[in-house]
Amino acid sequence: MNYRHAYHAGNFADVMKHVLLLELMSSLQRKEGGACVIDTHAGCGEYDLRAEEAEKTQEWRQGLGRVLEQPDAVLQSYIDRVTALGAPARYPGSPRLIASMLRPQDRLIACELHTDDAQILRRLFHRDDRVAVHHRDGYASLRAFLPPRPQKRGLVLIDPPFEKPDEFARLADAIAEIRTRFHSGIVAAWYPIKHRTPVRAFHDDLKARGVRSLLACELTLRPPLDPTRLNGSGLLIANPPFGFDNRARELLAVLARILDIEGQTTAQVEWLVGE
């Protein structure tokens, strides 16, 4: 599958991921010291929701569109952030959102393998010396960039396109390596929920590797029974900040209510492995 995010920008999975990402960024910035964020699959940074790709699928209307039409105070920081960055005409990707929150002492390392997207990303951030864009494989870059210096705290966001059949295994490898090389860091790894078997195997793989402090945050629009549909979205957090689990429950409960169309949308935040 040749995945192009322009068709899916601002959909329910994007909204869920970014609501939690902004909360993780806020947690990192409660301390004065600088933080480093690594985005392994950065994309092109922002997406035109009036372009042909977004117009063709209209997926954003059932994600971002519903949140803007039914604003809730619990999601206000997300709403304020994306509208300040151009929504609903444009939707900011993860690196654009992250960069908008960087303080002078923070930095972002954005990796993107797709040549055209990497060039767009470079143009987007060419005047921001807090952001470094690398045209390279995000998984392969982990050894080069971890642990980050001079910052000793940070977040690694892994948001792969799931183009390859072994993507869950690669994701588990990456999480285990990050937790070994950057023990104090937070890991946020996105995954699709089509049906339960691959997700359960992914979780069991991480448990078998002995990875500790794993929190699974999931939002499903419908029961994950049809493997041909994106029925839900997950964000696995390794080493989450203190209290993040309760905050994630609050955020996703509100989001599930707003996004519910078929009366089947559910949110779940579950500890897979404690500290």
Cα–Cα distance for residue pair 145/161, rounded to 1 Å? 21
Report whether 217 contacts 234 (CB < 8 A): yes
| CA 6 to mean position of chain CA atoms | 16
Active site annotation includes 72: no
Catalytic residue among 48, 128, 159, 226: 159
DSSP string of 87-144, one letter each residue: TTTEEE-HHHHHHHH--TT-EEEEE--SHHHHHHHHHHTTT-TTEEEE-S-TTTTHHH
Full strand arrangement of the beta sheet holding 107-111 = 131-134, 107-111, 35-39, 153-158, 186-193, 232-238, 214-220, 266-273
Report whether 223 contacts 232 (CB < 8 A): no
- H or E stretch at 76: helix 76-84
Tracing tokens 């996703």 back to the chain, one arrives at 252
240, two tokens: 């989450």
Q: Is 156 helix (H, G, I), strand (E, B) or coil?
A: strand
Report whether 3 contacts 121 (CB < 8 A): no
Which burial class, exposed, middle or buried, applies to 129 when counting CB atoms under 10 A from its CB (0-12, 13-18, 19+)?
exposed
Active site residues: 159
